[in-house]
Every structure is written in structure tokens, then in C-alpha cells.
């Protein structure tokens, strides 16, 4: 058995374990591996972020950008996200070219909730003031051909070196890539490995602002971005927001209506004016 297969087997075992120490064990295993990670730079443009309203606040209007940025109530973050650990708030977003990707990710009718008839979102726009350096989570081989930029980097990566050692490294990377593309509504899985790998990148590469990966909900054609808080505080600024109601019209089809656009934003007071 190859070394990477042994590592993969152990990571899979720990992912499925209910032990409290299993996540720490996964992080320590990854920390001691050589993992080749490609990077890309994103030039200044618009970022789009989505915040779902629940039943208790669906009639409210968010009054500040602080309510729309990454979560800071870390005592209440008690579950693993795709990239964040419990007690950790990251900035999940999309670029302006991938707005439909973000909607597909957050509107629950697209995530297996067949009972959803209406969902309320606040969609915020943010300026990227400086370029971002992002780690690319390359798609697995079975998802090649879905995104040109990722395919080009995947081709370069696959041809980087021809050796048994590099093939072993590629085997581990392929496993990690598949973890990011698992649809949790369709697979018995969790986010332990993707969280551990995201934090591996965050801790190891201090000049990296976050990660970019293909969207499961958009058939791997669209991309999602996750930014670390430090990068958001330095490079991102709030611009505007709108509140929208998405209503179900037929099976797995929703339309956007009742749009309320904010009128202005007072940055010195961090105040969003809706009227």
C-alpha cells in the first residue's frame, strides 16, 4: 500500500469517528505532510456575500455592515463549516461573476430542502481594494472540464513532475479535492477534513488571504471564495445591500421578488440606510 493510501485510510477513519480528539488528529496528520498547493491572484473587483434571514428576523433590515460580514459571535459557532471550525468565523463569498453560484449555495431548495416555499436573503456587495492571493482547491479528475481556469492549473499541476513520489502526492491531493466536492445532503460525510485542510493552508502560508474552490451546487462550474478575517479587515469594504424574497413556483424553481435596495451607506457610522 502506498504511503498516501495509508494516510487516506487513516483520515477517513478519523472523519467517521465520534471521538473528541479525531479532529485534532486529522490536523496533526495534515500538518506533517508535504502537500503541493497552487495559488492564484484575484485583482480588485466586487465581492458578493449572502445572509439568510431565519423565521425570527425575516422582517428585519440589517442596519450595519458588521451584521453582514464574517461572524464574530464565536461562542455561538458550534458546527464545522466547509472551511471554518467551531468558534471560527470566515468570510464566505463569491465574485461578481458568480452571483448565481452564491444563490445556489444558500437557497435551501437547491440544497435538498423540498419543503421550502419562501426564503429571505440580504445580498451585500463589497469592494475588493487590493488583490487577493488565494489557494486553489483543484477539482478532482472526475470534474475536469467544468472550469477553464481550474482546468489549466490542474493540467500544469499534473505535468509538474513524472516520478513515483509525485504520483503519491497527487493521490493525497485528489482525495482532499473530493472532500471539498462532497454534497453533504447526498453523502454521509462531514466537514472535518476540509476544515483541517483550510486551516492547514491558513497557518502554513501567512501571505495567503483565503481559498477558492469549485461549487458543488453549480456542477463545479462556479466558484466559491473563503477569506480569512485578517484579509477582510484589510482589503474589503462594504458598498451596498439589497433584501430579496425568493419564492418557490415549482419543484426546485424559485423566483426573486420583493426587492428592497438600501438607499445609502454612512461608512463613518457603519450605518445602512434603507429609507
- The mean pLDDT of 14-32, rounded to a whole number, is 95
- Separation between Cα atoms, residue 125 and residue 174, nearest integer Å: 33
| % pLDDT > 90, the chain | 53
Q: What pLDDT does 256 receive?
A: 77
pLDDT-derived band at 14 (thresholds 50, 70, 90) equals: very high
- The mean pLDDT of 217-227, rounded to a whole number, is 74
Judge whether 180 and 137 are in contact, CB under 8 Å: yes
- The mean pLDDT of 187-215, rounded to a whole number, is 89
Q: Cα-atom radius of gyration of the chain, to the nearest Å?
A: 20
And the C-alpha cell for 18? Answer: 465520534
If one compares 185 and 227, the residue with the highest pLDDT of the two is 227
pLDDT tens digit string along 35-66? Answer: 889 999 988 889 999 998 987 888 899 999 99
Which ranges of 143-267 would DSSP assign to H, the alpha helix?
A: 148-158, 164-180, 192-204, 229-235
**Which of these, 244, 250, 260, 224, lies nearest to 109 by C-alpha position?**
250
pLDDT-derived band at 68 (thresholds 50, 70, 90) equals: very high
pLDDT tens digit string along 100-137? Answer: 666 666 666 655 566 667 889 999 999 999 999 999 98
Judge whether 260 and 246 are in contact, CB under 8 Å: no
Judge whether 101 and 215 are in contact, CB under 8 Å: yes
Judge whether 65 and 264 are in contact, CB under 8 Å: no
Determine which of 22-31, 199-208, 242-251 has the lowest per-residue pLDDT on average: 242-251
pLDDT-derived band at 246 (thresholds 50, 70, 90) equals: confident
Amino acid at each position: 500500500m502506498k504511503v498516501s493510501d495509508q494516510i487516506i485510510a487513516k483520515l477517513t477513519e478519523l472523519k467517521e469517528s465520534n471521538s473528541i480528539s479525531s479532529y485534532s488528529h486529522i490536523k496533526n496528520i495534515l500538518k506533517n505532510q508535504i502537500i503541493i498547493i497552487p495559488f492564484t491572484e484575484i485583482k480588485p473587483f466586487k465581492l458578493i456575500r449572502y445572509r439568510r434571514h431565519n423565521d425570527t428576523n425575516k422582517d428585519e433590515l440589517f442596519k450595519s455592515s458588521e451584521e453582514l460580514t464574517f461572524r464574530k459571535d464565536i461562542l455561538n459557532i458550534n458546527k464545522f463549516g466547509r472551511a471554518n471550525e467551531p468558534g471560527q468565523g470566515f468570510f464566505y463569498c463569491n465574485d461578481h461573476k458568480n452571483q448565481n453560484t452564491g444563490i445556489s449555495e444558500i437557497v435551501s431548495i437547491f440544497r435538498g430542502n423540498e419543503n421550502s416555499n419562501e426564503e429571505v436573503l440580504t445580498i451585500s456587495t463589497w469592494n475588493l481594494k487590493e488583490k487577493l492571493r488565494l489557494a486553489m482547491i483543484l477539482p478532482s479528475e472526475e470534474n475536469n472540464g467544468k472550469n477553464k481556469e481550474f482546468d489549466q492549473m490542474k493540467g500544469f499541476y499534473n505535468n509538474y513532475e513524472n516520478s513515483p513520489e509525485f504520483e503519491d502526492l497527487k493521490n493525497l491531493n485528489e482525495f482532499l479535492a473530493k472532500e471539498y466536492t462532497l454534497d453533504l445532503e447526498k453523502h454521509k460525510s462531514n466537514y472535518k477534513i476540509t476544515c483541517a485542510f483550510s486551516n492547514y493552508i491558513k497557518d502554513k502560508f501567512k501571505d495567503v488571504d483565503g481559498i477558492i474552490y469549485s461549487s458543488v451546487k453549480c456542477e463545479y462550474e462556479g466558484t466559491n471564495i473563503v477569506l480569512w478575517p485578517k484579509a477582510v479587515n484589510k482589503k474589503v469594504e462594504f458598498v451596498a445591500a439589497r433584501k430579496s424574497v425568493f419564492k418557490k413556483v415549482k419543484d426546485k424553481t424559485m423566483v426573486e421578488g420583493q426587492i428592497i435596495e438600501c438607499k445609502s451607506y454612512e461608512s463613518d457610522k457603519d450605518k445602512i440606510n434603507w429609507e
